[in-house]
């Protein structure tokens, strides 16, 4: 498929997307009158907030949903997307059977999508994977997301890292939360926030660092709003590169020049020292200070000029630093300098600094993509932690840094299960020999089964595809052809390279599916039994409520069934089998899933009358078996999960769960069972029980506006749509509310280019161009020099022009900053 053909096909798919009609009004009216609706609980399918909903089923179809009044996260509320949840499953273009590109009955890279059986699909897939693995473990891989259920992610990690012996598995959470992961691990030795959503009712000040919660996390925003409006002394501060809907509530609205929030953060740290606002007792007992390596590059290809110039490319090294040395390091970040360089008035910066400095003000810092999707995302996370560690405002009710998340199980699956290329479950990593040995023991594998080298991260996978080094590739629960950066440079060329075989599992013909060689029809949300883990460490379960359409199957079924097509003799080295002959001739299914642990829970453990298609296919309660085996990794190690059955009864539990009791605030005496009486605090992820402050300077972004490309370009979300719109654009009400992406632009910038609101324009970067319509009014008020476009619209591929520069430590892409020019189309 040539680029022009792809764009044409994609435009047709975009039109089909919005034409879909879900539940007819007549059916809804009948269901209201008929009381035969069966209700069950589930977490919402969308973002990482983890709202609880009640799902109404009638005659095998979801006909209604409502906010769950017993759910502690949302207390019966839903956002606009949540209220239309039933309709996400009933778009007219659902994929209902496997589709393989074929010509004259044979696979053809340039053929037409043709229905095939599951056996045919898995047969050709397995042939392609076996051939690829002969070129090394990174020649085959899978790309998943924070939308995979806990057991789907666990099964995938097990299949690839243990069965196929390839660590080449990564989630789209790499584009989402990887910077938060790396910084949590570096500062605290453990991942994920130490606080919880209860802080929204307890904090005195909320500081949003680059987060538009009003649109991206609306239910949490409603809790924050209630706290602010109910308590006149509570303050809200919003820092952003443009005015957005969250600014409407803010007491202080701070619009800064892109990337300069790092300077503001370092100034506040300097202010704390200069004004004797440092909690010296807390620092002395619970904090170490380290100086991080600088000039670390931008995660581009090694031959890129910026990487060639970097003195310490990709370095995460650090060295001890004294408090006096840290004080000296911060001294250059003066109020006058930071105000001038950030564009934020000095009085606003001072007012914010005073909130952190006041020991009587409980501060909750909040951030998401604005900080994480950043070429210095790890550093910026650290700079936020620094303020809380310097003041002791951490791990206490109402006090703490809180990294929000974008997907329903980015925490529960990608992070906790470990579907990153370098991770294993419960914060273990493949590079650590003790971690590998521990994992092999749980998985009943021979020593040496898990490879020590980490796999390729998301952007590296794109580059390997382009270079013909990654030849068999499978994506699930993600639309990366639309969502990933710099679409045409590596990814599209790699996907359409005849050396490579690409598989996409999806319910709908997305941009990614149209670019693939094989499409597998996926059951979604309540068409399967599932588990998600949200941003406050809350794991939530749901039961299968309906059957998927046609031949669709869950991603879990696909992964486990696919394992039957491989024998150890085909994918394990001869020396490993020679030492462990008992594994010879076995299928990966027998080794990984029918291993006496996963398959030990009988079907009778499933309550009578409930659906569970996967378990009935495999002959045992597979979700329970996978979960209980997975939970073994964390129990007794600070990642404790409760017994399986408890989650089906509860509205989720926040780990660590010890003696059936959840933990609200980690690392703090009286709240965390791992902190002993008298310790006060114990950051037990680190051996000495201390957290780490990192001294890190401002460094510029990879690309800045110049004479030729004179505008900052930023992408993001709007409340009506979620990510690439695969689900929301198939809901007629949401589509009508925001039918197409627009380019938000300052009126002065528009006037300079002789543009008016509604004009069609070309947005051009060094990588490509797209067209859109100018919007100079509306919800986003852009400062001069900055433009913004949401990325949900498949007819306007925003990421065709973004840069694939990443944070060198987290490998997370900076979608928020590149240079473009805008001209009339």
- Over the stretch 210-264, which tens digit does the pLDDT of each residue have? 999 999 999 999 999 999 999 999 999 999 999 999 999 999 999 999 999 999 9
d(CA 478, CA 254): 34
pLDDT for 354 equals 99
d(CA 488, CA 494): 9
pLDDT for 310 equals 98
Give CA separation, 819 vs 21, 485, 519, 711, 805, in Å: 39, 14, 35, 6, 13
Q: Is the domain of 551 the same as that of 643?
A: yes
Instruction: Identify whether 369 is a catalytic site residue.
Output: yes
Cβ neighbours of 202 (radius 10 Å): 15
The β-bridge relationship of strands 530-533 and 786-790 is unpaired
Question: Cβ contacts of residue 683 below 8 Å, gap of 6+?
Answer: 188, 189, 286, 667, 689, 690, 691
% of the chain surpassing 70 pLDDT? 96
Q: What is the mean pLDDT of residues 64-88?
A: 96
Average pLDDT of every residue of the chain: 96
d(CA 50, CA 52): 6
Q: Is the domain of 621 the same as that of 726?
A: no
Give CA separation, 459 vs 79, 142, 211, 406, 713, in Å: 32, 13, 24, 19, 20
Contact between residue 686 and residue 188 where contact means Cβ atoms under 8 Å apart: yes
**Helix (H) or strand (E) run with residue 16 in it:** helix 3-19
Question: Cβ contacts of residue 618 below 8 Å, gap of 6+?
Answer: 560, 593, 599
pLDDT at 170 over 50: yes
pLDDT for 18 equals 36
d(CA 720, CA 24): 21
Q: Is the domain of 636 the same as that of 750?
A: no
Q: Which of 259, 407, 461, 623 is catalytic?
A: 407
Q: What is the mean pLDDT of residues 587-598?
A: 99
Q: To 10 degrees, what angle do helices 335-342 and 261-274 make?
A: 160
Q: Is the domain of 784 the same as that of 637?
A: no
Alpha carbon 389 to its chain centroid, in Å, reads: 26
At which of 602, 627, 649 does a domain end? Answer: 649
Instruction: Identify whether 343 is a catalytic site residue.
Output: no
Binding-site members are 44, 47, 51, 79, 81, 147, 172, 176, 369, 373, 479, 505-506, 528, 555, 715-724, 791, 799, 816
Q: What is the mean pLDDT of residues 154-179?
A: 98
Q: Which of 163, 398, 406, 625 is catalytic?
A: 406
Inside any domain, residue 726: yes
Q: What is the span of the domain harbouring residue 775? A: 711-824
Q: Is the domain of 590 the same as that of 455?
A: yes
| φ/ψ of residue 106, rounded to 5 | -120, 150
pLDDT at 720 over 70: yes
At which of 634, 649, 664 does a domain end? Answer: 649
Instruction: Identify whether 81 is a catalytic site residue.
Output: yes
Inside any domain, residue 254: no
Residue with tokens 């003066």: 334
Peptide bond into 656 cis (omega under 30): yes
Q: Which of 125, 176, 321, 368 is catalytic?
A: 176
Q: Is the domain of 624 the same as that of 769?
A: no
Q: Which of 177, 213, 321, 727 is catalytic?
A: 177
Instruction: Identify whether 609 is a catalytic site residue.
Output: no
Q: What is the mean pLDDT of residues 679-698?
A: 99
pLDDT for 35 equals 72
pLDDT at 14 over 50: no
Inside any domain, residue 635: yes
Residue 158 belongs to domain with CATH number? 3.40.50.740
Q: Is the domain of 534 the same as that of 645?
A: yes
Binding-site members for substrate are 791
Contact between residue 414 and residue 420 where contact means Cβ atoms under 8 Å apart: yes
Q: What is the mean pLDDT of residues 590-609?
A: 98
Q: Which of 185, 213, 369, 782 is catalytic?
A: 369
Q: Which of 20, 50, 81, 185 is catalytic?
A: 81
Binding-site members for [4Fe-4S] cluster are 44, 47, 51, 79
At which of 630, 649, 668 does a domain end? Answer: 649
Inside any domain, residue 615: yes
Question: Tokens representing 521?
Answer: 């029809």
Contact between residue 638 and residue 656 where contact means Cβ atoms under 8 Å apart: yes
| Banded pLDDT at 4 (limits 50, 70, 90) | low
Instruction: Identify whether 544 is a catalytic site residue.
Output: no
From the list 641, 662, 613, 543, the residue with the least C-alpha distance to 42 is 543
Contact between residue 548 and residue 528 where contact means Cβ atoms under 8 Å apart: yes
Residue 806 belongs to domain with CATH number? 2.40.40.20
The model carries a pTM of 0.95
pLDDT at 34 over 80: no
Q: Is the domain of 636 the same as that of 782?
A: no
Question: Is the Cα dihedral 45, 213, 404, 259 positive or negative?
Answer: positive
Inside any domain, residue 275: no
The 3-class SS string of 184-231 reads: HHHHHCCCCCCCCHHHHHCCCEEEEECCCHHHHCHHHHHHHHHHHHHC
Inside any domain, residue 761: yes
Q: Is the domain of 641 the same as that of 717?
A: no
Instruction: Identify whether 194 is a catalytic site residue.
Output: no
Maximum C-alpha span of the chain: 78
Question: Tokens representing 448?
Answer: 């040496």
Q: Is the domain of 615 the same as that of 764?
A: no
Q: What is the mean pLDDT of residues 175-203?
A: 98
pLDDT in tens, 253-298: 999 999 999 999 999 999 999 999 999 999 999 999 999 999 999 9
Instruction: Tell me how many domains the chain contains.
Output: 2
pLDDT for 2 equals 56
Question: Cβ contacts of residue 461 below 8 Å, gap of 6+?
Answer: 141, 143, 168, 170, 470, 473
Q: Is the domain of 549 the same as that of 643?
A: yes
Q: Is the domain of 630 the same as that of 731?
A: no
Inside any domain, residue 631: yes
pLDDT at 351 over 50: yes
Name the CA radius of gyration of the chain, rounded.
26
Q: What is the mean pLDDT of residues 491-520?
A: 98
Give CA separation, 524 vs 609, 689, 727, 728, in Å: 21, 42, 10, 14
Q: How many residues does the chain have?
A: 825
Inside any domain, residue 26: no
Residue 509 burial (CB < 10 Å; 0-12/13-18/19+)?
A: buried
DSSP characters for 590-654? HHHTSSSSTT-S-GGGSPTT-B-HHHHHHTS-HHHHHHHHHHTTTTTTT-----HHHHHHSS-EE
């Amino acid at each position: 498929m040539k680029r022009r053909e792809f764009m044409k096909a994609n435009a047709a798919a975009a039109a089909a997307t919005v034409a879909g009609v879900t539940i007819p009004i007549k059916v809804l009216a009948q269901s209201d009158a008929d009381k035969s609706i069966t209700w069950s609980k589930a977490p919402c399918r969308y973002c990482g907030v983890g709202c609880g909903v009640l799902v109404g089923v009638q005659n095998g179809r979801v006909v209604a949903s409502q906010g769950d009044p017993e759910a502690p996260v949302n207390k019966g509320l839903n956002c606009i997307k949540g209220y239309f949840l039933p309709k996400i499953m009933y778009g007219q273009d659902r994929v209902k059977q496997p589709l393989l590109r074929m010509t004259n009955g044979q696979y053809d890279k340039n053929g037409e999508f043709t229905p095939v059986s599951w056996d045919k699909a898995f047969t050709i897939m397995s042939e392609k994977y076996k051939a690829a693995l002969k070129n090394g473990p990174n020649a085959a891989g899978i790309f998943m997301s924070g939308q995979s259920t806990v057991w789907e992610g666990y099964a995938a990690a097990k299949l690839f890292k243990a069965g196929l012996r390839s660590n080449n598995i990564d989630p789209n959470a790499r584009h989402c939360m990887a910077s938060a992961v790396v910084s949590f691990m570096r500062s605290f030795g453990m991942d994920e926030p130490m606080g919880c959503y209860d802080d929204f009712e307890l904090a005195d000040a909320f500081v949003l660092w680059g987060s538009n919660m009003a649109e991206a996390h609306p239910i949490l925003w409603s809790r924050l709003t209630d706290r602010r409006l109910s308590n006149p002394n509570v303050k809200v501060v919003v820092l952003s590169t443009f005015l957005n809907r969250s600014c409407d509530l803010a007491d202080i609205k701070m619009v800064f020049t892109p990337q300069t929030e790092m300077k503001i953060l370092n100034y506040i740290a300097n202010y704390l020292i200069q004004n004797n606002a440092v909690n010296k007792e807390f620092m002395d007992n619970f904090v170490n200070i380290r100086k991080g390596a600088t000039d670390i590059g931008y995660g581009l290809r090694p031959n890129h000029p910026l990487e060639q110039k970097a003195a310490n490319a990709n370095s995460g090294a650090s060295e001890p630093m004294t408090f006096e040395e840290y004080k000296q390091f911060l001294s250059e970040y003066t109020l006058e300098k930071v105000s001038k360089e950030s564009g934020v008035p000095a009085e606003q910066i001072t007012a914010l600094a005073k909130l952190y400095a006041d020991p009587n003000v409980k501060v909750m810092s909040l951030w998401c993509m604005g900080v994480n999707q950043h070429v210095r995302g790890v550093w910026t996370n650290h700079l936020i932690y620094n303020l809380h560690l310097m003041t002791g405002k951490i791990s206490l009710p109402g006090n703490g840094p809180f990294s929000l998340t974008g997907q329903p199980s980015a925490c529960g699956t990608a992070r906790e299960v470990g579907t990153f290329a370098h991770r294993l479950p419960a914060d273990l990593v493949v590079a650590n020999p003790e971690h590998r040995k521990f994992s092999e023991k749980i998985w009943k594998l021979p020593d040496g089964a898990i490879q020590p080298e980490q796999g390729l991260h998301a952007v590296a996978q794109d580059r390997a595809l382009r270079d013909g080094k990654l030849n068999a590739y499978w994506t699930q629960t993600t639309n990366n052809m639309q969502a990933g950066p710099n679409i045409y440079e590596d990814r599209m060329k790699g996907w359409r390279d005849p050396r490579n075989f690409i598989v996409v599992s999806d319910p709908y013909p997305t941009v990614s599916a149209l670019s693939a060689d094989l499409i597998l029809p996926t059951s979604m949300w309540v068409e399967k039994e599932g588990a998600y883990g949200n941003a406050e460490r809350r794991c939530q379960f749901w039961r299968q409520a309906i059957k998927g359409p046609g031949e669709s199957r869950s991603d879990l079924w696909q992964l486990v069934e696919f394992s039957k097509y491989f024998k150890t003799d085909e994918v394990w080295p001869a020396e490993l089998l020679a030492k462990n002959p008992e594994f010879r001739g076995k299928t990966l299914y027998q080794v990984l899933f029918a291993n006496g642990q996963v398959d030990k829970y009988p079907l009778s453990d499933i309550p009578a009358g409930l659906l569970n298609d996967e378990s009935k296919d495999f002959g045992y309660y597979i979700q329970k078996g996978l979960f209980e085996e997975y939970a073994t990794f964390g129990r007794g190690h600070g990642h404790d999960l409760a017994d399986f059955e408890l989650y089906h009864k509860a509205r989720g539990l926040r780990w660590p769960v010890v003696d059936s009791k959840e933990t609200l605030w980690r690392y703090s005496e009286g709240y965390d069972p791992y902190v002993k009486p008298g310790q006060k605090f114990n950051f037990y992820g680190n051996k000495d029980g201390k957290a780490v402050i990192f001294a890190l300077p401002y460094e510029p972004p990879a690309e800045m506006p110049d004479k030729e490309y004179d505008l900052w370009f930023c992408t993001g979300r709007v409340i009506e749509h979620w990510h690439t719109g695969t689900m929301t654009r198939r809901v007629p009400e949401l589509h009508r509310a925001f039918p197409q992406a627009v380019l938000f632009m300052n009126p002065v910038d528009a006037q300079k280019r002789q543009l008016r609101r509604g004009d069609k324009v070309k947005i051009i970067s060094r990588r490509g161009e797209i067209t859109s319509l100018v919007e100079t009014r509306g919800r986003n008020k852009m400062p001069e020099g900055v433009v913004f476009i949401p990325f949900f619209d498949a007819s306007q591929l925003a990421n065709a022009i973004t840069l694939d520069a990443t944070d060198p430590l987290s490998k997370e892409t900076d979608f928020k900053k590149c240079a473009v020019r805008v001209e009339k189309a």
